Structure 1
Amino acid sequence: MMNPNKYKRQYYMPPTGYQEWVTKDYVDKAPIWCSVDLRDGNQALIIPMSLEQKIDFFKLLVKIGFKEIEVGFPAASETEYEFLRALIERNLIPADVTVQVLTQAREHIIRKTFEALDGCKQAIVHVYNSTSFAQRQQVFKKSKEEILNIAVAGAKLLKKLAEETEGNFRFEYSPESFTGTEPEYALEVCNAVLDVWKPTPDKKAIINLPSTVQLSMPHVYASQIEYMNKNLNDRENVILSLHPHNDRGSGVCDAEMGILAGADRIEGTLFGNGERTGNVDIVTLALNLYSQGVSPGLDFSEMSDVCEKYENYTGMKVDERSPYSGALVFAAFSGSHQDAIAKGMHWNEHVDSEHWTVPYLPIDPTDVGRNYDADVIRINSQSGKGGVEYILETKYGLNLPPKMRETMGYAAKGLSDHLHKELMPDEIFSLFKETFENVKNPYSINEVHFRQLPDGGIETEVTSVFEENQITTTAVGNGRLNAVSNALKKAYDLKFDLVTYQEHALEQSSSSKAIAYVGIRKPDGSLAWGAGVDPDIIRASIDALIVAINNR
């Protein structure tokens, strides 16, 4: 039996008056991105990446556009140490990319970290110690003053060793478990660290405020960030960074609201891989910005390739419903959704091609390398005429009459329901041909001749076959198709009305084929449909009429 009484809130609200972020409705520029896939992400894997996988992943992150990449905790293990050394010694770090290394605020770990950085031209050294009430009380059993002294001692050693080591080093400090720390105390510790580093415009310090464990709703975290943003020493020389985890499933909300509250930088991972429920998903954050007309500074135009490589390196799977990146996130199976998307695509193409406003699609799938035919309109038993129409039109050049679209839609739904599977575009096209084009029995036409009458009418002589019996019939009509229709009615005593005729070219060339669609109304009022394809539009229309009669 679940017992909610065993839990209590473990977060701390800042003083009142730090909710200015609420008045802002969007993020107007991309933050500084720092990928922690190779440290936080790797540490969360059941089987950590090999050295060469890490190197390949590093190259992928560089290709995507990350300029800051945390590469590990080099003092924590030999494999972490060797990876950093490989990057440095193989000269794999581009001049415009800064690697970041993590270290606890402990002397021997900090010294080992700087040993690993030997020869690195530029790096961010990220030092941390835990500050939360729970950690102070239960883990370290130390006072606030003692915890603050650990942070200050670590900051001083970083500064000393950076001065003694060749290279361009910047500093970052995290009060780990910030979300469980009293805001006034977190501010005191961070300001004490800044007082040691004395950041300048040319060498800014990074203060990173992690939601190491999400303990509250996102608005609380945002207010905590705003409080720190407005009270940090040397704020103009400080880059305020966030490192949201996802325990409550609101990592993206924490990040976006935190940016509204004054954060300049985000640490996260591709697709949100990380400890427990994961880190914040940078793919989602970046493309959320993109969908609002803000350049994220990261390139996800080859999303399928990024997903494939990520899965190969990590052994993790990108969920089919993962925002922007999942295989099904642009897929519409619902008939009403398909209809709206198809109409929206036509509207955007012909009315407003400058801005993307297609219903149900927050971004153009082709911007991330997705294909309309394969990824957007998907047909199953839940689909409607709009989706089937879209596939037949965009992939095969067919523009069915409105009522015929309904019949074709029902045919596709019925087949999908019978097979218990999604229908691929070629299966839909085959179904169209089998249902409306290749129906040759019981009636067929072998030969047709026309003669223009003095009054403008058309006389036809039709040689047709029914159940292997051939008959030649003469009839008159106000046009060629009407005359053939009258001949068939006369020959077989058929009862129907020719109510719809539509035609168009299938290819834009002098030798192109044409397709004709014919609809006839049966005595019970229902419609039957046929299609014909031929270089001669008259022959195509006659073929369509015969199929419609066969489909009565």
Structure 2
Amino acid sequence: MEKNRIHIFDTTLRDGEQVPGCKLNTREKVKIAKKLEFLGVDVIEAGFPISSPGDYKSVQEICKSVSNTTVVCALSRAVEKDIEIAGIALKYAKLPRIHTGIGTSHCHIHYKFNSTQEKIIERAIHAVKYAKKYVEDVEFYAEDAGRTENEFLAKICENVIKYGATVINIPDTTGYCLPKEYGCKIRFLKENVKGIHKIILSTHCHNDLGLATANSLAGIMNGAEQVECTINGIGERAGNTSLEEIVMIIKQNSHLNLFTHINTKLISSMSHLVSKCTGMKVQANKAIVGMNAFSHSSGIHQDGIIKKRETYESINPEDVGIDKSSIILTARSGRAALAYRYKKLGFFLKKNSLDLVYSIFLKYADEKKEITDMELKKILKKANVNHKKNNKVLKNHHTNDRRINVL
């Protein structure tokens, strides 16, 4: 069966930057944008030009810096001035897109706009028509689509398609939906909106309940062709769908018959760059890019990893740009891990010697979070055991994984 391409729309520089204390200057934004292009994203949402002179300048400079293979997108509200400024900011883009839209849920229509569904449809149509004066590629977002009745959502989608929208974004703005509900919403639109086959249907999910990636996955499994996401999952409140998570889910699950153009080997370096520039540290247990994602401290897990990586890792760390798995020595570690680390240092311990060293190691490990190579040498000296020293590190005969080296 032929695989379907999923477009990756990266909004790190727009939605991701909306995190408090996460301000990026133009130089940093251009640097990240160039790296995103190299990563292989299809669309870079460069900013919200009308929000500040700095954002306007950043969008302009990104347009000049990005080549003709990546779409550069600018956000606007369904307001003429917003759209006009976005259009001007995109002047130098080779592939420009204006991303405009309006809230569609009862909550937004009634409380935010003090309006009616009919007037919201009129504003949506006008925004798309006005944006088409500046660019051919117009993406419409139905803000708070997650809490919008499907029938009204289908109606507004059909109208903006009629007036030239090329992409329609279905945001779960408050992270409200369950995956089944969000998937069914996407399927409903695919089956009930006239002209839906002419446009790209996009997901944009927030992580308020920890379901952003799951909802995006449900969306593409039900017909969405684009995922809007951020590096490290940063974004408003609890964040957005994590680019690295959705991309690796697609890569690891071939039965989904989906693919992206992302060069996954650049994911780790991309994560580090965004973390450094934004000042947003990546939590240690973050999937794919957290410092513990490929680290093992449990004795049972360590023994399995040493024998064959796949026993406790479903992802090869090399696939995301990490050289190797890590065996971390703690009080939970077993003899196999201790022997493995000593072998890496060039020391071969026989069973009796290993038992003695291990008993001393446990006393050290109970007092410290992690045992370093320097401390391992101290333990060996304290044990005063006979050991064979060989500085030549050989390939482990238990595994074909060259990343795990032992004596």
Q: TM-score, normalised by structure 2?
A: 0.88
* Residue 42 of structure 1, aligned match among 13, 17, 27: 17
Query: Where has structure 1 moved over 6 Å in runs of 4 or more?
Result: 503-506
> Hey, what's the Cα distance between the residues in 2 that align with 1:320 and 1:326?
5
1:256 aligns with 2:208: no
Q: Which residue matches 2:373?
A: 425
Q: Which residue matches 2:399?
A: none
Greater Cα shift, 55-64 or 33-42: 55-64
* Residue 265 of structure 2, aligned match among 280, 301, 308: 301
Which string of whole-angstrom CA distances, capped at 9 and with x for unpartnered residues, describes residues 191-223 of structure 1? 0111111x7xxxxx1111000112232211111
**2:15 alignment partner, SS class:** helix
1:410 counterpart letter in structure 2: S
Q: Which residue matches 1:289?
A: 250
Q: Which residue matches 1:177?
A: 144
> Hey, what's the Cα distance between the residues in 2 that align with 1:506 and 1:108?
69
1:71 aligns with 2:23: no
**1:327 alignment partner, SS class:** coil
1:324 aligns with 2:288: yes
* Residue 152 of structure 1, aligned match among 113, 117, 125: 125
> Hey, what's the Cα distance between the residues in 2 that align with 1:141 and 1:380?
59
Displacement, 1:332? Answer: 1.2
2:69 counterpart letter in structure 1: D
> Hey, what's the Cα distance between the residues in 2 that align with 1:196 and 1:132?
21
**1:75 alignment partner, SS class:** helix
**1:37 alignment partner, SS class:** coil
* Residue 235 of structure 1, aligned match among 186, 196, 206: 196
Give the 5 Å matches for 1:83-482: 83-88=58-63, 91-159=64-132, 161-162=133-134, 169-197=136-164, 205-292=166-253, 296-345=260-309, 358-372=310-324, 375-393=325-343, 395-402=344-351, 404-417=353-366, 419-437=367-385
Please say if residues 39 and 267 of structure 2, whose CA atoms lie closer than 8 Å, have aligned partners that are also in contact. Answer: no
Displacement, 1:132? Answer: 0.4
> Hey, what's the Cα distance between the residues in 2 that align with 1:113 and 1:507?
61
> Structure 2: where are the runs of 5+ without partners?
395-407
**2:14 alignment partner, SS class:** helix
> Structure 1: where are the runs of 5+ without partners?
1-26, 163-167, 200-204, 346-357, 440-502, 510-552
**1:62 alignment partner, SS class:** helix
> Hey, what's the Cα distance between the residues in 2 that align with 1:300 and 1:429?
37
Displacement, 1:504? Answer: 10
> Hey, what's the Cα distance between the residues in 1 that align with 2:233 and 2:221?
21
> Hey, what's the Cα distance between the residues in 2 that align with 1:508 and 1:206?
54
Cα 1:306–1:398, aligned 2, differ >3 Å: closer, same or farther? same
Higher relative contact order (CA 8 A, sep 6+): 2
> Hey, what's the Cα distance between the residues in 1 that align with 2:392 and 2:85?
70
1:31 counterpart letter in structure 2: I
**1:254 alignment partner, SS class:** helix
2:114 counterpart letter in structure 1: K
Q: How many residues align?
A: 390
> Hey, what's the Cα distance between the residues in 1 that align with 2:58 and 2:76?
15
- Which of 1 and 2 has greater Rg? 1
**1:38 alignment partner, SS class:** coil
> Hey, what's the Cα distance between the residues in 2 that align with 1:126 and 1:304?
29
Greater Cα shift, 169-178 or 59-68: 59-68
> Hey, what's the Cα distance between the residues in 1 that align with 2:203 and 2:251?
20
**2:115 alignment partner, SS class:** coil
1:308 counterpart letter in structure 2: H
Cα 1:119–1:63, aligned 2, differ >3 Å: closer, same or farther? closer
Displacement, 1:86? Answer: 2.2
Which string of whole-angstrom CA distances, capped at 9 and with x for unpartnered residues, describes residues 340-388 of structure 1? 211224xxxxxxxxxxxx122121223334344xx52100112111211
The alignment yields a C-alpha RMSD, in angstroms, of 2.5
Cα 1:291–1:120, aligned 2, differ >3 Å: closer, same or farther? closer
2:283 counterpart letter in structure 1: D
Q: Which residue matches 1:8?
A: none
Aligned residues with identical type, % of pairs: 26
Cα 1:376–1:28, aligned 2, differ >3 Å: closer, same or farther? farther
> Hey, what's the Cα distance between the residues in 2 that align with 1:424 and 1:297?
40
> Hey, what's the Cα distance between the residues in 2 that align with 1:44 and 1:407?
52
Please say if residues 37 and 270 of structure 1, whose CA atoms lie closer than 8 Å, have aligned partners that are also in contact. Answer: yes
Please say if residues 347 and 390 of structure 2, whose CA atoms lie closer than 8 Å, have aligned partners that are also in contact. Answer: no
Please say if residues 380 and 412 of structure 1, whose CA atoms lie closer than 8 Å, have aligned partners that are also in contact. Answer: no
1:422 counterpart letter in structure 2: E
**2:200 alignment partner, SS class:** strand
Please say if residues 7 and 260 of structure 2, whose CA atoms lie closer than 8 Å, have aligned partners that are also in contact. Answer: no
Which string of whole-angstrom CA distances, capped at 9 and with x for unpartnered residues, describes residues 8-36 of structure 1? xxxxxxxxxxxxxxxxxxx9655110110
Displacement, 1:66? Answer: 1.4
Displacement, 1:428? Answer: 2.2
Displacement, 1:303? Answer: 5.0
Cα 1:287–1:153, aligned 2, differ >3 Å: closer, same or farther? same
Which string of whole-angstrom CA distances, capped at 9 and with x for unpartnered residues, describes residues 196-254 of structure 1? 11x7xxxxx11110001122322111111111122222232211110011111110100
Which string of whole-angstrom CA distances, capped at 9 and with x for unpartnered residues, describes residues 286-339 of structure 1? 122333357643234355533332122111111111111111121111111111
Q: Which residue matches 1:519?
A: none
